[in-house]
Amino acid sequence: MSDRLLKSALEKDETLEQPEDRPVEQDQKALRLELQSAKDELKKARESSEESLNKIKYLVADFDNYRKQMEKQAATKAESDKAELLLKFLNIRDDYLRALSVAKQRKSEPVVIEGLQGILKNIDSLLASEGVREIESLGTPFDPNVHDAIAHSERDDIEENTVTAEIRKGYVLNSKVLRPSIVEISKKIVKNSVSDTTQEERG
């Protein structure tokens, strides 16, 4: 009888343990699912953040390029405006030189000529301080980048296409041509050998 009671008690214990085991397994399974879900969400969040970061990098790069382009355009515009203004000064200088030449020809008072020369010196100093310098042309080979030839002179004593006269001075601004020099260039004298021979035969 005691064996039967013991067996019955053991069976009851087993039935009591089974319901307790099942919730533990279910909890573990649920935790695994939650963990996997958290990992998936973390992966998606990481991918989303990387995508957002890349977009931000592209936006920053685009803005930086835009800023540089705007700065370049502003610098080019400022340089163009400066060149335009300096060209007006050069035209004034040309007029001033003509006036000074007339004053010298008419033998104006020395004090007047000295005053005019002093003003011219100030104009030249201002132009130089802004990076304007004269193009050295006389006696140099013709260069279409800095010279405009509007006349020629027949010469045998110098190389052909050498600048023989400067009609209007040219200037550069920081190595860029502000105004080309208007010049006269040399041209070789072409002799008509047939007429020379004919003249010799006649003589």
Would you list the domain boundaries of the chain?
136-203
Question: Residue 185 phi/psi, 5° resolution?
Answer: -120, 160
d(CA 38, CA 21): 26
The pLDDT score that the predictor gives to residue 56 is 92
Would you state the pLDDT for residue 13?
Answer: 53
Max CA pair span of the chain? 172
pLDDT digits (tens, 9 = 90+) for 139-180: 999 999 999 999 999 888 888 999 999 999 999 998 899 999
CA distance 171 to 177: 6
pLDDT at residue 190 in the model: 75
Q: Tokens 């132009």 sit at which residue?
A: 127
pTM above 0.75, yes or no: no
How do residues 47-93 score in pLDDT, each as one tens digit? 888 888 899 999 999 999 999 999 999 999 999 999 999 999 999 99
Q: Are 100 and 118 in contact (CB under 8 A)?
A: no
For residue 200, name the pLDDT band (cuts at 50, 70, 90).
very low
Q: Domain 136-203: give its CATH architecture.
A: Roll (2.30)
Banded model confidence at residue 12, pLDDT cuts 50, 70, 90: low
| Residue in 74, 68, 78, 95 with CA at minimum distance from that of residue 174 | 78
The pLDDT-based confidence of 25 (bands split at 50, 70, 90) is: confident
Q: Is the pLDDT of residue 196 over 80?
A: no
| Residue type at 51 in one-letter notation | E
